[in-house]
Amino acid sequence: MDAWPVPPEGDTPALGDALARFLRAHRRVAVLTGAGVSTASGIPDYRDADGQWKHSRPVMYEDFRRHAQVRRRYWARSLVGWEYFRRALPNPAHAALASLEDAGHLRGLVTQNVDRLHQQAGHREVLDLHGRLDRVVCMGCGDVSAREDMQLRLQAANPGFTGTADVTRPDGDAELTPGHDHEHFEVPACTRCGGDLKPAVVFFGEGVPRAWVSQAMADVDSAKALLVVGSSLMVFSGFRFVRHAARSGKPVAILGLGRTRADELASLRLSGDCGHVLHAALAAL
């Protein structure tokens, strides 16, 4: 696939012009977003510029499902982390993507983020590929409830548990300041069946529901090109869509800082701040 000229890293006007040309050339572009879109909202990403973990590995699904201690540890940390997470607001990247949708340039948006900030920014066609953190699901009966309700139940069950987070994570988890005892943390059960509760997100090691994957693939298939924004694509759940687009002969543009797993598949690689470049592109259209 032919590559487009690559503007210098950090040259926002040139990067914006290049992205605007890409959008004009293809129209109806599908979008895949990752954690890098939400960092300006105060929600950190998982990986550094080289694609390596910034902190300890996130919670794994099988560990959470099998071990009560892992669940206690997660919910204790989430009790604190949720207070940071819930206050996050959409940033210029979310706003620019919503404006591009309004202008008719985009054909659906698939996000790996669980923060719902695209929807808060007014984006309409959004698929939450990895679920949404504002909900809780029972692993026994499948009952879904609000995360805010879970927060109240956690606080009521653990009245003496207070603290601050050294580091928050994109999934609402947090690295707590030293001195917190997870061993005796009380985790409320499902009010419907008494089962174990988990956030309604796809943990690492957990499969994305097939229906969601099929919908995302359909968005890519019906678009003329694919734009990736703020994702390292290190996990297969996102990388598969770039690979599918490239194999289908569709141009792929990747915007973000640091390397990605799919750089060699990109027709256009733009290294710059997501929000700044998207707004520059919007102004150039």
Residues 163, 89 contacting (CB under 8 angstroms)? no
Rounded mean pLDDT, 230-235: 94
Domain 12-284: give its CATH code.
3.40.50.1220
Whole-angstrom Cα Rg for the chain:
20
Q: Give the three-class secondary structure for 85.
A: helix
Could you list the beta-strand ranges (E) of the chain: 29-33, 106-111, 126-128, 131-138, 144-146, 165-168, 174-176, 197-201, 225-229, 252-255, 268-270
276 is known as an active-site residue? no
For the chain, domain boundaries: 12-284
Average pLDDT over residues 59-77: 95
Tell me: pLDDT of 126 over 70: yes
Distance from first CA to last CA of the chain, Å, rounded? 24
Is residue 49's pLDDT more than 70?
Answer: no
Q: Which residues contact 58 (CB under 8 A, 6 or more apart)?
A: 46, 169, 171, 173, 203, 204
Half-sphere exposure in the Cβ direction for 279 (13 Å, CA): 11
List CB contacts of 242: < 8 A, sequence separation 6 or more.
32, 226, 228, 233, 252, 254, 262, 265
Task: Report helix, strand or coil for 255.
Answer: strand
Q: Which has the minimum average pLDDT: 9-23, 52-66, 162-176, 198-212?
A: 162-176
Residue 173 confidence (pLDDT) above 80: no
> Which one of the listed residues 26, 130, 276, 279 is annotated catalytic?
130
Q: Is 207 exposed, middle or buried (0-12, 13-18, 19+ CB in 10 A)?
A: exposed
> Which residue has better confidence, 14 or 168?
14
Across-strand partners of 30? 226
Q: CA-CA distance, 94 to 104, in Å (whole number)?
A: 16
> Of the candidates 270, 268, 269, which has an alpha carbon nearest to the alpha carbon of residue 2?
268
Query: Is the per-residue pLDDT at 65 higher than 70?
Result: yes
Give the pair of three-digit tokens for residue 210. 């097939």
Q: pTM for the whole thing? A: 0.90
- Whether residue 208 has pLDDT greater than 80: yes
The larger pLDDT score, comparing residue 144 to residue 165, is at 144
